[in-house]
Amino acid sequence: MGDNGIASLKNTHPFQRALGRRTHVFAHNGDLKGLHNEYRVPFLYYEPIGDTDSELAFCILLERLFPIWTRDKTVVPSADERLSIFAQFASEMRIRGSANFLYSDGNVLFVHAHKRMFEENGTFSEARAPGLSIRNCTDCQNGSEYKYDGLNVSLTGQITTIVASVPLDEHGWEALPEGVAIAIKDGEEIGRVKT
Q: How many CB atoms lie within 10 A of CB 82?
A: 21
pLDDT-derived band at 120, boundaries 50, 70, 90? confident
Q: In Å, how far are 13, 144, 158 from 105, measured between CA atoms?
A: 15, 29, 21
| pTM of the predicted model as reported, rounded to 2 decimal places | 0.90
- Sorted by where each begins, the domain ranges of the chain are 9-132+176-194
The correct answer on CATH 3.40.50.10420 for the domain covering 9-132+176-194 is no
State pLDDT tens for residues 57-92. 999 999 999 999 999 989 999 999 999 999 999 999
